[in-house]
Amino acid sequence: MPNAYERAEKTHDRNNEGIRLQKLLAQAGFGSRRKCEEIIQEGRVEVDGELTTELGTRVDPGQQQIRVDGSRIRLDTRHITLALNKPKRVLSTMDDPKGRFTLRDIVGDRYERIFHMGRLDYDSEGLILMTNDGELSQHVMHPRYEVEKTYIATLEGRIGGNVCRRLVSQGVRLDDGLIKLDHCAIIDGNRDTTIVKVVLHSGKNRIVRRIFGAIGFPVKRLVRTQIGPIKLGDLKPGSYRVLSVTEVRSLSKEVGL
């Protein structure tokens, strides 16, 4: 049951327009009410571009722009963002006229107007983000914000560390231009196969497969494990989860929202 302070605050909220700033921050995942009060008093919060340190400040999140440490607070209960683990032989789309498995077969019709942010090719696996937040989707997919993507690739053949270093320092020229990896590390391997972890910003179609194919090491298996701050973790193939408020906030900050 709510204590006397909470009951009094709820009554006060009903009798005044807007919501207390510290309450809004708590709902947005910044911690306890007391912690959010400290954030305000430390001068880390802006309302419509103005620094705000008053604990009694009331705001309308639907009409005003609130930022913490420069990052905009996004608190719209109508928006939902999912992390999904796409298995092989599933299309990164919601419908297919040929009747092949799609993302809709995994998420169903539970979420209205939800769509994927980026794609994985038919034979690749791993993390796909989905949302019904159009602004977030545009920022995540826009090349301007260069969201890092991490993959585990199983290659045909054995490569050495010098190959990884060259892909980072010099890159490889493809039909659509020069591309470099941000990071490349060998995880495991034998005479016939090498497993590497690669990180890059590019979202071009089949880019990891094209990079290693161009230097003579075709990709046998490809799994995307991370997009920006969002990790695949132990999410099972063919399943999904709803991102927490904290995760959505970190993703939004990553893409300048």
CATH number for 16: 3.10.290.10
Q: Which residue has the tokens 């006060």?
A: 12
| Whole-number pLDDT of residue 8 | 44
Q: Measured on CA atoms in the order 30, 4, 8, 10, is the torsion positive or negative?
A: positive
- Characterize the bridge pairing of strands 219-227 and 149-156: antiparallel
**Where in the sequence is the domain holding 99, given as residue range(s)?**
81-144+230-255
132 and 235 in a single domain? The answer is: yes
If one counts every other C-beta atom within 10 angstroms of the C-beta of residue 121, the result is: 16
d(CA 212, CA 216) in angstroms, rounded, equals 6
248 and 128 in a single domain? The answer is: yes
| Whole-number pLDDT of residue 203 | 79
236 and 219 in a single domain? The answer is: no
39 and 158 in a single domain? The answer is: no
Residue at which a domain ends, from 17, 50, 72:
72
Residue from 76, 105, 121, 176 carrying the catalytic annotation:
121
Residue 60: closest CA among 29, 16, 30: 16
154 and 223 in a single domain? The answer is: yes
| Residue 222 near residue 199 (C-beta atoms within 8 A) | no
91 and 160 in a single domain? The answer is: no
| Whole-number pLDDT of residue 214 | 95
If one counts every other C-beta atom within 10 angstroms of the C-beta of residue 241, the result is: 12
| Whole-number pLDDT of residue 84 | 97
The H or E element containing residue 213 is helix 207-214
The H or E element containing residue 248 is helix 245-254
33 and 156 in a single domain? The answer is: no
Tell me, yes or no, if 121 is annotated catalytic: yes
186 and 241 in a single domain? The answer is: no
152 and 223 in a single domain? The answer is: yes
Q: What is the CATH number of the domain that holds 199?
A: 3.30.2350.10
Query: Which two three-digit tokens encode residue 107?
Result: 């998420």
The H or E element containing residue 8 is helix 4-15
Nearest 5°: phi and psi at 195?
A: -110, 125
| Residue 57 near residue 19 (C-beta atoms within 8 A) | no
pTM of the model: 0.75
212 and 167 in a single domain? The answer is: yes
Per-residue pLDDT of the chain (257 residues; tens, 9 = 90+): 445 444 444 444 444 568 888 888 876 767 777 888 888 999 998 899 889 888 888 888 778 888 888 877 766 667 889 999 999 999 999 999 999 999 999 999 888 888 899 899 999 999 999 998 888 888 888 878 889 999 999 999 999 889 999 999 999 999 988 999 999 999 998 989 999 999 999 878 899 999 999 999 999 999 999 999 999 999 999 999 999 888 988 898 888 87
Q: Which residue has the tokens 């301007």?
A: 144
126 and 246 in a single domain? The answer is: yes
Return the half-sphere exposure (C-beta side, CA atoms, 13 A cut-off) of residue 186. Answer: 15
Domain count, the chain: 3
205 and 177 in a single domain? The answer is: yes
Q: What is the CATH number of the domain that holds 88?
A: 3.30.70.580
Q: Is 217 helix (H, G, I), strand (E, B) or coil?
A: coil
